[in-house]
Structure 1
Amino acid sequence: MSVISVNGPLKKMHTQLDSDGLAHYELELGDTRVPLSELLNHQLTLVASGEIFCVLCGRKTKKSFSQGHCYPCFTRSASCDICMVSPEKCHFDQGTCREPEWAQSFCFNEHVVYVANSSDPKVGITRATQIPTRWVDQGASWAKPIFRVATRQLAGLIETELKPHISDKTRWQAMLKGAPTEVDLTALAAELTAIVMPYANTLNEQHGPSAVRALLGGGDAEPVKVISYPVVQYPSKIKSLNLDKQPILSGRLTGIKGQYLMFGDEVFNVRKFSGYQVQLEISE
């Protein structure tokens, strides 16, 4: 039996959609990318060395914070600040941004407010350049942009306005058990747009006439994106695998969805363990 071995710190899986909407995955271990979608039904073994390296500065850390950061980066980096989770709480204008130059390139560019269906209909935001990556990372089966906005904070403000009417969460266990019940996202998008337009108009008065742009009719309308995943068998019951408790994980790869690897009823969240030094062994 031939065995291939690769070493390196884990990174979030790289994803790409083909012309049919099928997600393709590559597992990143340091500078090496392993094409996982081609390895369905192969035996994979992940062995954690016990070492963790910060995904930002690269220093060795005893504990991972916020998906792979050392404590200094977690407390000082703008990418770990509260406004990353709650963009409406942006404090750049107050002069207290942790990294103003980083924020200029990350936060002050076009973002998209979207509706998606991973486990249930939900609202979300992402940088325009992260479509469709963000949808794949969340395991969405269908997704549709509803607003394009000038900044991350404006996207957060629109999302917050919509939260009383639609969830902003994904039920990850339900997402991993298969495709959700199909919902007419075009009709839902129209309904949510009508609800939030008065507030969007107010934001345009404050920030400029094109700061918030609805994507409904005409040339701005964007279709529903349909996404499928490389899965040969969805889990019926879910057991979450944890490298801190079980440093050696081994099983037949039965599927990949979101940022999860499926080994029968056991699932492994790759992104959660970013920075962990791992040896991957692949056998037929």
Structure 2
Amino acid sequence: MSKSEFSGHLDKMRIHPAATVAYSLVLNNEEYPINDFLGKSLSLLWEGDIHCRACNRPTNKSFSQGYCYPCFTKLPECDSCIMSPEKCHFHLGTCRDAAWGERVCFNDHIVYLANSSGIKVGITRMKNMPSRWLDQGAAQALPIARVATRRLAGLVEDIIRRDIADKTNWRAMLKGDSPELDLVSERDRLKEHFAEELNQLELEQGPGSITWLTNESVRHFNYPVIEYPTKVSSHNFDKTAEVSGRLMGMKGQYLILDTGVINLRKFTSYNVRVTVNRES
């Protein structure tokens, strides 16, 4: 066949670590590897419907990457503390779902440094390494501390981000890899720079509540990109239902086409038909 076609409700792309990281589109929970589609003509057509990723009801608008409005206002995974973990309110007895909070937020978390569009600090659950870094398009990553709860990870991050960014500049990330950084030296500098505040935080949370990971090595990642754009323009299904172009690469949760880029994670739960011309 000269063409491949598949459809379903989008989820974020699965990214698997390898010498060159391997990407798969995810439609109706089924994976479709796409590294071999590099250089081919690709069309993505939003077929007009969105179904909530939690309750599966149809919704006219996606909230928090794939939820209907009722789920967005009720589910713990859509609460504001997910984006700002230092604002966790479990200890106040106001968690939207205490069982969910105990399962997700009260386990080991990692504070890390990454280089995606320059240095940044972030947090993730241990089980989400290295997928968290790959989702962000990081070329380098270094775990720097381990803590027992999500809230404590957020408090450590909150201190460190006074000196460095906690967000990725997605346009810069999609123009190519940032120059390599000495993340080990940056870890040591930040630990020393904020020693007083970090020591006070550990004292408040209990001795040993923050474990500094001084023996970790820097991870490096290579993304499947034929050519990076010199000017980044983005596609949006809400404005144009069909997105097409030659697939030039994948980085983070973005497809890089010769016509622009699209963040597939943003359109989680959109029903999309994907067509690939294998002979192009």
Q: Do the structures match in fold with TM over 0.5?
A: yes
Query: Pick from 182, 203, 208: which aligns with 1:184?
Result: 182
For the pair 1:120 / 2:118, whether they are aligned, the reply is yes
How far has the Cα of 1:47 moved from its partner? Answer: 0.9
The gaps in structure 2 that reach 5 residues or longer are none
After TM superposition, the structure 1 = structure 2 runs for residues 54-133 of structure 1, keeping only pairs within 5 Å, are: 54-133=52-131
Give 1:157's aligned amino acid: L
- Indicate the larger mover: 194-203 or 243-252: 194-203
CA distance in 2, matches of 1:198, 1:146: 17
CA distance in 2, matches of 1:16, 1:209: 36
SS at 2:191's partner residue? Answer: helix
**Structure 1-normalised TM-score?**
0.95
Q: Is the 8 A contact 1:158 1:196 kept in 2?
A: no
Residues 108-160 of structure 1, C-alpha deviation per residue, up to 9 Å, x if partnerless? 11111111110111111111111110100100001101111110000100011
Q: Is the 8 A contact 2:246 2:259 kept in 1?
A: no
Q: Match for residue 227 of structure 2?
A: 233
Q: Match for residue 13 of structure 1?
A: 13
**Structure 2-normalised TM-score?**
0.96
Residues 194-245 of structure 1, C-alpha deviation per residue, up to 9 Å, x if partnerless? 22333333333333322211112xxxx1100011100001111111000111
How far has the Cα of 1:265 moved from its partner? Answer: 4.7
Q: Match for residue 2 of structure 1?
A: 2
For the pair 1:27 / 2:21, whether they are aligned, the reply is no
SS at 2:194's partner residue? Answer: helix
Q: Match for residue 251 of structure 1?
A: 245
For the pair 1:52 / 2:50, whether they are aligned, the reply is yes
SS at 1:239's partner residue? Answer: coil
Q: Match for residue 166 of structure 2?
A: 168
How far has the Cα of 1:45 moved from its partner? Answer: 1.0
Q: Match for residue 224 of structure 1?
A: 218
Q: Match for residue 258 of structure 2?
A: 264
Give 1:13's aligned amino acid: M
Q: Please report the RMSD computed on the Cα atoms of aligned residues, expressed in angstroms.
A: 1.2
Query: Pick from 184, 192, 195: which aligns with 1:194?
Result: 192
Query: How many residues end up aligned between the 2 structures?
Result: 278
Residues 7-59 of structure 1, C-alpha deviation per residue, up to 9 Å, x if partnerless? 110000111102x3x21111100132110112111221111111001112211
Q: Is the 8 A contact 2:86 2:155 kept in 1?
A: yes
Q: Is the 8 A contact 2:202 2:208 kept in 1?
A: yes
Q: Is the 8 A contact 1:138 1:259 kept in 2?
A: yes
SS at 2:166's partner residue? Answer: coil
SS at 1:187's partner residue? Answer: helix
SS at 1:60's partner residue? Answer: coil
CA distance in 1, matches of 2:272, 2:265: 13
How far has the Cα of 1:250 moved from its partner? Answer: 1.3
- Indicate the larger mover: 261-270 or 199-208: 199-208
Question: Structure 1 stretches (4+) deviating beyond 4 angstroms?
Answer: none
Q: Is the 8 A contact 2:11 2:29 kept in 1?
A: no
Q: Match for residue 39 of structure 1?
A: 37
SS at 1:102's partner residue? Answer: helix
